[in-house]
Amino acid sequence: MKNNIKIAILGGGGRTGKFLVTQLINQGYSLKLLLRNPENFTIESPLIEVIKGDAVDCESIRLLIQGCQAVISTIGQRKDEYLVSSQATINVLKSMAEFRIKRYILVAGLNVDTPFDKKSQKTSIATEWMRTNFPRPHADIQKTYSILSKSDLNWTLVRVPLIEFSDVKGQIIVDLEDCKGDKISAADIASFLIEQLFDDKYFKKSPFIANH
């Protein structure tokens, strides 16, 4: 099955994205990566096709997604650019509709609110801290959720706490209402994202994941 699927990756050059790309190619998946600065990307594999472009550019996303069967994004907020997440998602959903691709998996912080949450005091404090100290990025990722919630595609928004950039894997706690841990390894994030490619359990949902 892996030989018949090509995955479009946004954020593959970032700190979390590199863990995702490495795991995917180690499992034999073919990838298309959108990179603003491909000359800085150091992972080499015949399974990787690089598209030079920007996620906020609609045509770049179109070139990335064409020929793929799923999209995974670990794209992060950029300094002084506050609409990256929502604009990238708008572009992705438009191209996915054009090419009849149904699966979109992306990562966000635990500060995203959904109508289904029952956040603990600790998670609520963290959410309010982000809202107060980073109001524009917080509003943008919240806008991203709003856009997704109106889509009929099979999206999953994975919410994570503090990321430890480590290859060490642990037990992953998944919860739809609250974040049950303070941190998670980038390796575990990557593994969970890959698992969602063929699992419909979290279609149109926003699970929290954390390490035990």
The confidence score (pLDDT) of residue 51 equals 96
**What's the CA gap between 137 and 20, in Å, rounded?**
23
**What's the CA gap between 109 and 158, in Å, rounded?**
8
CA-to-CA separations, 185 to 163, 170, 198, in angstroms, rounded? 6, 8, 22
The confidence score (pLDDT) of residue 82 equals 60
- pLDDT, tens only, 52-69: 999 999 999 999 999 999
CA-to-CA separations, 89 to 142, 157, 165, in angstroms, rounded? 12, 11, 25
At residue 108's C-alpha, the angle toward residues 7 and 123, to 5°, is 150
Q: Residue 180: exposed, middle, or buried by beta-carbon count in 10 A (0-12, 13-18, 19+)?
A: middle
Phi then psi for 147, rounded to 5 degrees?
A: -65, -45
**What's the CA gap between 67 and 64, in Å, rounded?**
8
Residue 57's region, left for phi above 0, alpha for psi from -120 to 50, else beta, is beta
pTM for this model (two decimals)? 0.95
Domains of the chain: 2-211 (3.40.50.720)
- pLDDT, tens only, 73-126: 999 776 666 678 999 999 999 999 999 999 999 999 999 999 999 999 999 999
Percentage, residues of the chain above pLDDT 90? 91
